[in-house]
Structure 1
């Protein structure tokens, strides 16, 4: 009987503790559901329109949680459905550059006019079309930090536009299947002398800068393999594909014709003043290396957690460099393709037609948060900004509700 008692007491405690843990997890899930529901309701009130959905996926020491709210006209969302994660792609591009650094394939502080290590081939083409402002002063690190002064042709119309639109938007409207290239963008920089200033004198977010990084990745990989390679080839072979350290079903389409999201996918929606537009198809060739990624909430979580913990393609010290190496010109929270979202974590966010998302990991609490809002309200600038702000509001609130 003494033996039975010795065994019975721990078993009873284990059952009791298990019930307590389950009850706590249930309460946490209810807190999370309430928070997401309230944020969704408040957003609908602020915008005075139906919002198709708001979803969050959290992995923490307490457990894994998923919460989603569907609007009246929305569709159900699950964490393994595909969507376009837009500028979160920049963090993947940074991971590619930093892995190449680890492997001795490049030096972060090399000028982009310098030669790829071990070759007589420069990081960037040296023809006249690539002679854009301050090119010979710019380093790879500065482009990662958005401190290179490279004008953003995808977002900015202040120095160059076509009929009041960015070059990218104009081409997508007039020729939806146009195959974009980095050389095409760079020629515009050169021809129109477009620049924000010399490197490390001004911080300015630049999609075009990351397009140039994609070209650098392709040129280095081509040299190392002695064959023609693209940015997407390197990403598949070394960052996310079957032979990478942490294989993940993440894609980086490069062809204009590869425009359909894989199933199952979440439809994006844009609300204009006079109509709505579903955005499940997109010519992603306009955004190679800066916004062409496709994945799920689960795969983004697995990527950002393992990357920041030094369990993926980057050493822990390199992941720390990604989080902390900021340029002299910036007071922002941006480092090497990586932002610090105070109170939420490190990572990136993304905005592409009909999709808004946030991908973060907090090393202090071991909590990762993915937020997805597949909706843009373009009836006013203020309403679009309200949609964008919802990402951070959600990230902060769900961590608070879970006690972090």
Structure 2
């Protein structure tokens, strides 16, 4: 009997402690950043009724009371209305801007997936209408580049995760079909890079494989996929064959001014005669790194009569940051409970910045951790102490010093 009572008391004690921990976590979450709240509730005197008479009866329970609306309209309330109107205008502007789509069908090059993933996220949003085609060769490029710890490998892995989350869930994000390509030999290449002038009779087709730039197999497969989408845009859009208007199909590549690499030409240095030895060629961390450049893909796409859309790295990310700042502006003045205030409120205890190691960091280390690191880093100074690091799941015995 005593054992049952002891077990029951322990269970009740554990349940009580769990309840207290949950309440403390909720309180800490609700009390975080209390100065940044936009609409603080004004103090309401419950002893005075809305008609100006004092209430003689007892106080009503909090559940039965209703929030009292202020008829005078304080400055804090006016500020809240202004912020709501501003947010509505920003959302309307974003919706209007989303209606102007970049194209009907966008074939995404591997360079955009690696260097302009923010633009890909923008196309994946629900308010967009573009159909995104990911070539199979772009997926192969991501698989070849995502191995390792370099920044390029990290970008390739991030792009792979985003595509895995979108393909199959978002009907507008599609992967190239196995039969959706045009043979390389059947593509009419022109000498002028402007696709709008390819219909002139004086233009003469050139060799599809000029030795100056070369055309690797991965580049050919990307161009063949984009050419098929340009010729069969109505099938991709699901339009009727007798529809007069043609869909706008573009190949998205990284802007040539920001292209980090180009396809290496082994014959370029053979004809150069110089009395001074040339510097050793730069060794790439990954031999497939030239695939992440979009300049050569854009060159061949223009020669194949494909409309090219150059994407600048970081442009979509900056646009998203501007929209988020407009929707959630940083408060420039403090809100008082009694109304609006015009004075700027600054923190009385600004965060201290130490040396170069901690300066500008987003996460500040606790003082206890800093003291322990200093003690471990200087074992020769002060009394000798042994710091034991426990493994995951290991418990410290009470008798262990």
Which TM class, normalised by the smaller chain length? under 0.3
TM-score normalised by L of structure 2: 0.25
Q: TM-score, normalised by structure 1?
A: 0.25
Q: Who wins on radius of gyration, i.e. which is larger?
A: 2
Higher strand share: 1
